[in-house]
Structure 1
Amino acid sequence: MKKRTLLGVLTPSSNTVLEPLTQAMVADLKDVTAHFGRFRVTEISMRDQALGQFNNEPILEAARLLADARVGTIIWSGTSSGWLGFDADEKLCDEIKAATNIEASTSVLALNEIFEMTEVKRFGLVTPYLDEIQERIIANYQSAGYQCVASQNLRDRGNFSFSEVTEETLMDMVRRAAEPKPDAITIFCTNLRGAGIVERMEQETGIPIYDTVATAVWKGMKVAGADPARIKGWGRLFGEV
């Protein structure tokens, strides 16, 4: 049998978008499949209860179950370190590797790697989040040397409700984020239908757009030893970075 690439993907329990989008991205690659593990996430806010959802142990238990499928990588397809701090993802990846002996990464660490590789300094940020979350994300990126020049958010605590935001709403947000001509725009939430609009909005705006479902797939492919450039029709990320 031809060698398979098995992508392990950690998923918020209330997310209904990232799984079908991830599957769609790899659908034409017969040797690549995505496999998912869930842990409970139902609200995005700075309340203690919401922050506690991202304690590592439930995530590690989901990762251990994914490891039973002998996946080639485990990717946290989520953006929590945007407000918790990037070191939260770095620690999580270290703990996943220690628990499973499988290399791990995240949507946000992948995005940061892409920003570095493509020399992004000024970026536009599109999210569904509350202002308190948006402000933390912007502050963390500023501390890392990135300037947010356009901020668009829907002021929703979600998480399920994020999946009901239409592509038309997201396209309008991307257009507004494009007005100051940033180096790139990120659609920063894995329960938004952003990946499906990336290619057409890149053509309309001329600006690279990095959706965090797509960054997880891009990094998962790389870590698992597969070529992300094999993925077609999902934006410049896969062919150019």
Structure 2
Amino acid sequence: MNVVFPHTLDTERLPQIGLVVLKSDETIERDFRDLLPRTVELLVTRVPAGDELTLDNLTQIQNHLREAVGLFPTGVDFAALAYGCTSGTAVLGVPRVEALLHDAANTREVSNPLSALLAASEALGVRRIGVLSPYSQPVSDRLCGTLGEHGLEVAACGSFAVPHEAMVVRIDAGSILFGAAQLARQAHFDALFLSCTNLRTLGLLERLEEQLGVPVMSSNQVLAWHLMQQLGIETEGPGRLFRTGSRAVVSA
């Protein structure tokens, strides 16, 4: 006998954050689950992207953003929606990325790693920055140029010149530590930015800060922080950047 039971619907939901991730990214989801508090709910979708890290491939991603956002659950009312690609934001421009996200979904706030970096830099009083990225030279130049256009002075810009996105996640910790140290020897800067959501940097931030004596920020870290700021959720106290692991903080 088939028995039908009565039920009620739970209408209370945690604030939902949507994250658009490149299909090749193996890092950002893990980092976000380490960084975001349990008071928010993370939903992730993936967007097609070319295998090579070129300006053209990064530009073409915009043609697939609406389709990717359309794969989120129907009727989701996002508290915030983020595009998880630093280089793609630099190529398209922050205003274009923000407009695409607002157009694609019902969301109160939007973010991306560059908007997040600019907000974090302002919170920390950073004006002169060093940048380490995995990108090809044209993409690296575009990133550093975009940061300059938004008021940050790029004192040193270094990259690993990796041609394929799938290789980025395989860059080891030793290479990142060495590259960061070399940049610090080349120029003085107020903070170091480790660019790319697929680069495995989160576990190195505290160590690098101790070695370099300046704040060290990563794409995933500042993006998670910015989203929490937009939602009014404190991260280890107001006006602070948070870390994973020990949750050490840098005061604004």
TM-score w.r.t. the length of structure 1 is: 0.85
One-letter code aligned to 1:240? S
3-state SS, counterpart of residue 164 of structure 1: coil
- Between 1 and 2, higher relative CO (CA 8 Å, sep ≥ 6) is seen in 1
One-letter code aligned to 1:110? A
Matched, 1:184 2:194: no
Alpha carbons 2:81, 2:107 under 8 Å: kept: no
Query: For residues 66-113 of structure 1, what are the alpha-carbon distances to aligned partners after superposition, in whole Å with 9 as ceiling and x for unaligned?
Result: 3645442111111112233333323224324xx324421111111112
For residue 13 of structure 1, what is the aligned residue in structure 2? 23
One-letter code aligned to 1:74? L
Take 2:193 and 2:243, find their aligned partners in 1: how far apart are those partners? 19
Alpha carbons 2:129, 2:193 under 8 Å: kept: yes
How many residues align structurally? 234
Take 2:71 and 2:189, find their aligned partners in 1: how far apart are those partners? 40
For residue 171 of structure 2, what is the aligned residue in structure 1? 165
For residue 145 of structure 2, what is the aligned residue in structure 1? 139
Matched, 1:81 2:74: no
Matched, 1:53 2:60: yes
Alignment gaps of 5+ in structure 1: none
- How far the C-alpha of 1:193 sits from its partner, in A, is 0.4
One-letter code aligned to 2:121? F
Matched, 1:44 2:53: yes
Structure 1 residues 102 and 223, CA, compared in 2 at 3 Å: closer, same or farther? same
3-state SS, counterpart of residue 15 of structure 1: coil
Take 2:248 and 2:141, find their aligned partners in 1: how far apart are those partners? 26
One-letter code aligned to 1:44? L
Structure 1 residues 101 and 193, CA, compared in 2 at 3 Å: closer, same or farther? closer
For residue 201 of structure 2, what is the aligned residue in structure 1? 194
Matched, 1:151 2:157: yes
Higher helix content, 1 or 2? 1
Take 1:189 and 1:65, find their aligned partners in 2: how far apart are those partners? 24
TM-score w.r.t. the length of structure 2 is: 0.82
Matched, 1:32 2:56: no
For residue 251 of structure 2, what is the aligned residue in structure 1? 240
Alpha carbons 2:59, 2:91 under 8 Å: kept: no
- How far the C-alpha of 1:134 sits from its partner, in A, is 1.1
3-state SS, counterpart of residue 54 of structure 2: coil
One-letter code aligned to 1:195? L
Larger Rg: 2
3-state SS, counterpart of residue 72 of structure 2: helix
Take 1:124 and 1:102, find their aligned partners in 2: how far apart are those partners? 32
Take 1:138 and 1:222, find their aligned partners in 2: how far apart are those partners? 25
- How far the C-alpha of 1:187 sits from its partner, in A, is 0.6
Q: CA RMSD in A?
A: 2.5
Take 2:73 and 2:232, find their aligned partners in 1: how far apart are those partners? 17
- How far the C-alpha of 1:199 sits from its partner, in A, is 1.2
- How far the C-alpha of 1:15 sits from its partner, in A, is 0.6
Structure 1 residues 169 and 150, CA, compared in 2 at 3 Å: closer, same or farther? same
For residue 120 of structure 1, what is the aligned residue in structure 2? 126
3-state SS, counterpart of residue 165 of structure 1: coil
Take 2:19 and 2:251, find their aligned partners in 1: how far apart are those partners? 23
1:213 to 204, 210, 220: 220
3-state SS, counterpart of residue 148 of structure 1: strand
3-state SS, counterpart of residue 66 of structure 1: coil
Matched, 1:22 2:29: no
